[in-house]
Amino acid sequence: MGESTNHQDSPPPSLASIDTLPDDPEVLKALLREQTEAFEALAQQVEATARTADQMGLRDEQFQHFHRLQVLGTLAEGIVHEFNNILAAMLGFTEITLTQLPADSPAQHNLQAVYTAGQRAREIIRQTLSYSRSATAVSAPLAYAPMVTEVLGLLRASLPKTIEIRDEIAPDVGTVLADPASMHQLLMNLCTNAAHALNVSGFIDIKADICQVDEALAARHLSLQPGSHIRLRVQDNGHGISPEILDRIFDPFFTTKAAAQGIGLGLAIVKRIVNTYHGAIAV
């Protein structure tokens, strides 16, 4: 912080000093204009300082949030590894027992329910590890438009026919340096989340184009650098997101869905992938 001058310590102008002002109106106007410009320059400096302070506060808040999620990811990975070892034994012995029991045994149904629940738990473990691990796959130039088209083909085949998928992909969207599996998962998670919001019917719009990131936008997102970026937009006409929970939707394990639809890692994984490849996401 630099030193500042306290103008309250300066004595008020005396009559003698006022009498020394020039009599020429043009000179007075020039003097007034000079003082006005000086005050305007000072006001701009104050405004710039305040803006810088706001940005520093935002960056500090973003860093603390990222650190909390990083700690949570490390903790989750350790717990999940231990749980996965226990689950592997449970599934293994259940599968062996199912083959040893007579087909008409009453225990068949019960053990099959146990095995199905175990498979569901294994899927939860896979999602948790996918969130907690940093991307280790080797990145390579990936043609973005064909990748989006491929994922949308899979979605059209898997989602109900009552959900319309509309795409608008710019032909010159170019390439991105990334792992194809991560890019697939990112788009699949976003579109699946949109489909859950639709319930029975509606539409999902997917758009991809090139956008220019300026200094102002880069200042709001630590991972962005000014310049050209691929922009992906996913929109649906579902029930929307309540403003009260908008700032929590990317938190791991936060969900408003029924248990059968997810455990709250879909958007957290999206955010993780976006951060890994130095992108940004907004709602």
Token pair of 79 as six digits: 């717990």
CA pseudo-torsion sign 185, 187, 188, 194:
positive
Residues contacting 266, CB < 8 A, separation 6+: 127, 189, 192, 193
Q: What pLDDT does 14 receive? A: 41
Nearest to 238 by CA among 205, 195, 206, 270: 195
Angle at 188 between CA 179 and CA 269, to 5 degrees: 65
Look up residue 251 and give its DSSP letter: S
Which region holds residue 264: left if phi is over 0, alpha if psi is between -120 and 50, else beta? left
pLDDT tier at 154, thresholds 50, 70, 90: confident
Give 111-125 pLDDT, tens digit per residue.
888 888 887 777 767
* Cα distance between residue 115 and residue 119, in whole Å: 6
Nearest to 148 by CA among 229, 227, 205, 212: 205
* Cα distance between residue 228 and residue 205, in whole Å: 23
Contact 128, 162 (CB under 8 A): no
Give 3-51 pLDDT, tens digit per residue.
444 444 444 444 334 445 555 666 656 666 676 666 666 667 766 666 6
pLDDT tier at 205, thresholds 50, 70, 90: very high
Q: Delineate the domains of the chain, giving CATH numbers in brackets.
A: 25-133 (1.10.287.130), 140-277 (3.30.565.10)
Which pTM was predicted?
0.56
User: Which region among 74-78, 130-134, 135-139, 200-204 has the lowest average model confidence (pLDDT)?
Assistant: 130-134
Q: What pLDDT does 16 receive? A: 39
